[in-house]
Amino acid sequence: MAVYGSSVPGATGYRVRWGMVSGSYSSASGVLPGSARRYTVSDLVSEREYYLVEAEWNREYISIDLR
């Protein structure tokens, strides 16, 4: 699954986190550069519901709705 985001002024990097329980994100990407707009999440199980958040490297989580 591809996750797309938009830039946030002043952000130097991002991390995408995901899991099967809201608020509990057991998997995460590495730190993506501030210029990143797309990340591909692999190894997801078909027919399962996942929750994803995008976080600025030095700020709180920003939820993104992928439904």
Domain boundaries, the chain: 2-63
The helix or strand, by DSSP H or E, that contains position 32, with its residue range, turns out to be: strand 32-33
Residue 44: burial class (beta carbons within 10 Å; 0-12, 13-18, 19+): exposed
Q: Which residue has the higher pLDDT, 52 or 8?
A: 52
Q: Among 8, 12, 4, which Cα is nearest to 58's?
A: 12
Model confidence at 6: pLDDT above 70: yes
Q: Give the per-residue pLDDT at 65.
A: 47
Q: What is the pLDDT of residue 55?
A: 80
Report the greatest alpha carbon distance in the chain: 37
**What would the pLDDT profile of 12-67 be if each residue is shown by its tens digit?**
888 889 999 999 989 988 888 888 888 999 889 989 999 988 887 665 544 444 44
